[in-house]
Amino acid sequence: MTPSLLEVFVYGTLKPGERNYPLFCGGKVSQTRPALVRGVLYEIPSEMSQSSYSYPAMAMGSDWVAGYLLTFTDEEILIALDQLEGFQPGRSPTENEYQREWLDLYTPKREPFTQAWGYMMLPEKIQQLGGRKLDFTDVAHWSGL
């Protein structure tokens, strides 16, 4: 049986060149394409998180957020990504750190493109973790480098 392909939109530590890409995506991605989604981008400070570094969180919104559409060669990667993002299907949304959502994606020229999984955070969780909105004039980008 051939594994199914899985597409996931990433905007933070799973982007190529960022901290978690080699651990979770290295050797497992068959295609990487730039993409945009509608949302609001925040940064969770390291002192409020369970990690030693700050990281991004995206909530529903109308701003443009830049990232990448990753095509994985095996849909089983979703289990590892869910664990990284603190998401368990069937658990109350307030108990999850992120929610896995089906997102509408756009090309860098803002044309409708496709749909894919992505991880969003509830506004209440962002506030609880001391998230600060990242303001950009056009498109929001996050980099931990």
Kindly report the pTM of this predicted structure: 0.91
Q: What's the pLDDT band for 1 if we cut at 50, 70, 90?
A: very low
Residues 33-60 have a mean pLDDT of 87
Going along the chain from its start, the domains and CATH numbers come out as 6-137 (3.10.490.10)
Question: In a 3-state reduction of DSSP, which class is residue 18?
Answer: coil
For residues 69 and 2, what is the distance between their CA atoms, to the nearest angstrom?
Answer: 21
* DSSP-derived secondary structure letter, 97: S
13: tokens are 């530590």
Most confident of 52-56, 69-73, 137-141: 69-73
For residues 3 and 25, what is the distance between their CA atoms, to the nearest angstrom?
Answer: 16
Calculate what percentage of the chain has a pLDDT beyond 90: 79
Report the pLDDT value the prediction gives residue 28, as an integer from 0 to 100. 96
Decide if 67 contacts 37 (C-beta within 8 A). Answer: yes
Angle, CA of 96, 9 and 102, to the nearest 5°: 60
User: In the predicted model, what is the mean pLDDT of the chain?
Assistant: 91
